[in-house]
Amino acid sequence: MSDVSQRLQAALSQLLQGHDVGEPVLNAGASEADFIQLEQLTQTRLPEDFKAVYRVFNGQAEVDVYVLDGEEWLSLARMAEEWEVWKDLLDNGTFSDGGKAFSSDAETGIKPVWWSDKWLPFTYDGAGNHLCLDLDPTDEGTYGQVIRMWHDDAERSVEASSFAAWLGDYVTALESGQYVYSDDYGGIVNSDDIIDEDDD
């Protein structure tokens, strides 16, 4: 088991201790056939750092708790489902008007499109928004960088240079106590968000 995967499992176990969330929270690792199936569907090459983690944990199980900052951690099968939703919208011309493609307000390193079929969602917040692997960045970007995309907002931001970097930062934040489990929010969320909600 990779170090970051081990640390993730330990941090989640501690945060979820005493809460009836169902077991197991995380899926067993994906197989090489699983990776090939997703790569063939999306016509992409999955980054090795991403595959290293998914060989240990293939996203989260179907339990009533979101483990990635209030978002579902998608299995490879769920990634395919969400990708196909977006691909259908793209193919149907949803992101264009009169043949002119919609553009996004993309940070440096991200192509300024509304959605690219080389963006693979690995989280889902239940409202159509995702963190994605960007497998078609600009020359200023990095293959496999993590980007945030919104279904109803043009903002597109780079969250980390790689999946490993993003997950490592998240696990460190879990270990430092920045995140807590909340029944009201249905999962593990930033403690500052809960405090801000209470203050409002």
Mean pLDDT of the chain: 92
Q: Is the dihedral of CA 32, 38, 41, 47 positive or negative?
A: negative
What is the structure's pLDDT at 196?
55
Structure tokens at 123: 């989280």
CA distance 81 to 75: 10
- Average pLDDT in the 42-48 region? 98
Point out the least confidently predicted range of 36-45, 121-130, 140-149, 184-193.
184-193
CA distance 114 to 96: 9
Over residues 83-109, the pLDDT tens digits come to 999 999 999 989 888 777 888 999 999
Over residues 143-190, the pLDDT tens digits come to 999 999 999 999 999 999 999 999 999 999 999 999 999 988 889 999
What is the structure's pLDDT at 77?
98
CA distance 158 to 169: 14
pLDDT for 198 beyond 60: no
What is the structure's pLDDT at 185?
85
Scanning the structure block, which residue is given the tokens 């996203």? 59
pLDDT for 1 beyond 90: no
179 pairs with which residues across the strands?
Answer: 190
What is the structure's pLDDT at 58?
98
User: Is CATH 3.40.720.10 what the domain over 3-190 is classified as, yes or no?
Assistant: no
Domain ranges for the chain, please list them: 3-190
Q: Are strands 105-106 and 155-160 parallel, antiparallel or unpaired?
A: parallel
E strand or H helix at 170: helix 163-175
Among candidate residues 18, 4, 1, 29, the one with its CA nearest the CA of residue 174: 4
Scanning the structure block, which residue is given the tokens 């977006």? 86
Over residues 56-90, the pLDDT tens digits come to 999 999 878 899 999 999 999 999 999 999 999 99
Amino acid of residue 130: H
Q: Are strands 145-149 and 155-160 parallel, antiparallel or unpaired?
A: antiparallel
